[in-house]
Amino acid sequence: MPLLIRIFATALLAGPLWAFGQATRATTAPAVADPPSPKAALRELNVAMRDGDVATIQRMFLATTPAERKMVAADAQMAAALADLRRAAVAAYGDAPAKTVTGDTVAGAAESLVRIDTAEVTINGDTATINYRDERDGPFVLKKVDGEWKVPVSELGKPLDPVALKQRLADLAVQTSVVRDVTKLIRDNKLPTAEQAREAWQNRILQAATSQPANRAERPARE
């Protein structure tokens, strides 16, 4: 699974921003927006990942090198493809059957809300450390840049060497293409059931994984 999407896999389906603790509005004065916070940033990013909002995803990640920007762009496109697949599956099969293709979005949303809202946040200047209570991910670091909390790509794992980065981007491009192909088949009514859509997705991913062994063999061995 793509690096950034894997990290947010349990939180991709968070509810819309207006669901997270609205401020009480006075009757004689305009509402005052809550100040930016690390949790608010995570909520916004989760919603963007869920909805496939490419622009917001790219804005919310702090990418400082060309390699990091390429990874964020590729993962954002994958998120957009997955979001479009969810919309197509729901339109074609209905909410319940679409779970066969996309997973249980209701359960995912509930879990992500709990994880964010119960996380412990420690702020030290322009650095925030997030500790989830279930300890599946973390500690998780955010940086404040120009008044906005962002997720530094450098905190998500070791940098990839050029060969590994090229392979990762190629794999991700193939996966994104497969998702888009299946989405088109659904919209063209060529996959009448959700089970057929799931099988089509799985089969195409397997075919893609077994059709590029030569590329992986080219990577030099580490000493």
4-35 b/e (C-beta count within 10 Å ≥ 16 → b): bbebbbbbbbbbeeeebeeeeeeeeeeeeeee
pLDDT attached to residue 102: 85
pTM (2 d.p.): 0.77
Quick: pLDDT tens for 106-149. Answer: 677 668 777 888 899 999 999 999 998 876 666 889 999 999 99
Name the token pair of 141: 């670091």
pLDDT attached to residue 118: 87
CA-to-CA separations, 49 to 43, 52, 169, in angstroms, rounded: 10, 5, 18
| 161/78 Cα distance (integer angstroms) | 22
Does the pLDDT of residue 11 top 90, yes or no? no
Quick: pLDDT tens for 150-200. Answer: 999 988 877 778 899 999 999 999 999 999 999 999 999 999 999 999 999
pLDDT attached to residue 23: 29
Percentage of the chain beyond pLDDT 90 is 53
Q: Of the candidates 122, 121, 98, which has an alpha carbon nearest to the alpha carbon of residue 108?
A: 98
